[in-house]
Structure 1
Amino acid sequence: MKINDAIFGELEYEYGWIKDTTIDFCGKESEISIMIDSEEDGEIDEEQYESYTSLMQNWDQLQQGFLQAILDYYIQKRHELGYDVEVNENYPLIETIDQLLDRITLVGITVPFADCFEGRDIGLTFDCIWDIENGLGLRLVNEKIINVGYQDVAI
């Protein structure tokens, strides 16, 4: 089943509404999926529109903050696993945002049901070289990062 939404465009239903699109992330085009939590009836909450619209309006300004939060998370995770002492090829030394950008790929934007958090709620999912199975996720509320972790924090 498909719908044509005024904000999101053409969406297809697959346990939620999905659209594949291309977005600029840090100067390079990324093929991503936008996933909107909703029932089959196609009713998308006003708060979900606000969350997505606000993210897109602030997209260019927010990206460096995403990268810094991911870098901080990676450095902490690498330390917790002991790979800052013992070498692990899956967790190489990454000290700069440029090095990080070579190792992550934006793959999705999730617009969850509006009742999860107070405010504009959005998730970003990434593939990363250091954890292919779990990936990487960011959860934003009102365009502020509230959680960095595996992809499931963004869903």
Structure 2
Amino acid sequence: MIINDSVFGELEYNYGWVRYTTIEFCGEEAEIALMVKGEEDGKFDEEQYIAYKLLVQNWKQLQQDFLQAILDYYKQERQELGYDIEVNEDYPLIESTNQLLEMITLVGIVVPYGDIYKERDIGITFDCTWDMENGLGIRLLNERVNEVGYQDIAI
């Protein structure tokens, strides 16, 4: 089933609503999946629309927030795993967000059901070179990075 939503655009239902699209991320085009949680009837919560519109409106500024939060998370993971002492090819020393950009790929934006949190909720998913299996996820609440972890925290 396919619907054309006034905010999310043309979505296809496949155990959840999805649209494949291209967006700009840190100066590069990124092919992503926009995943919107919802029932087969294609009706979405007002909170989902608001969260998505504010994400789009603040997208440029948020990208820098993502990068800093991911860099902090990466450094912490690297230290917890002991790779700040023992060398591991998958976890090289990274000092800047520019180096980080070579190791991550934006792959998805998730708009969860609107009633899970009191805040506006959005998930951002990435593939990353240091953990191909689990990937990387960011949960935004009210357009602020709330949590960084494995990809499943964003879904």
Within 1, Cα distance between the matches of 2:146 and 2:61? 17
In the other structure, the counterpart of 1:130 is: 130
Q: Which ranges of structure 2 fall in alignment gaps of 5 or more residues?
A: none
The runs of 4+ residues in structure 1 deviating greater than 6 Å are none
Shift of residue 69 of structure 1? 0.2
Which amino acid in the other structure matches residue 9 of structure 1? Answer: G
Within 2, Cα distance between the matches of 1:75 and 1:6? 41
CA contact (8 A) 2:47 2:115 kept: no
In the other structure, the counterpart of 1:66 is: 66
Within 1, Cα distance between the matches of 2:145 and 2:153? 11
With normalisation by structure 1, the TM-score equals 0.99
Within 2, Cα distance between the matches of 1:4 and 1:77? 41
In the other structure, the counterpart of 1:8 is: 8
CA RMSD, 1 decimal: 0.5
Q: Which ranges of structure 1 fall in alignment gaps of 5 or more residues?
A: none
* 3-state SS, counterpart of residue 72 of structure 1: helix
Shift of residue 15 of structure 1? 1.1
In the other structure, the counterpart of 2:76 is: 76
With normalisation by structure 2, the TM-score equals 0.99
Shift of residue 62 of structure 1? 1.0
**Percentage identity across aligned positions?**
67
* 3-state SS, counterpart of residue 147 of structure 2: strand
Within 2, Cα distance between the matches of 1:125 and 1:68? 15
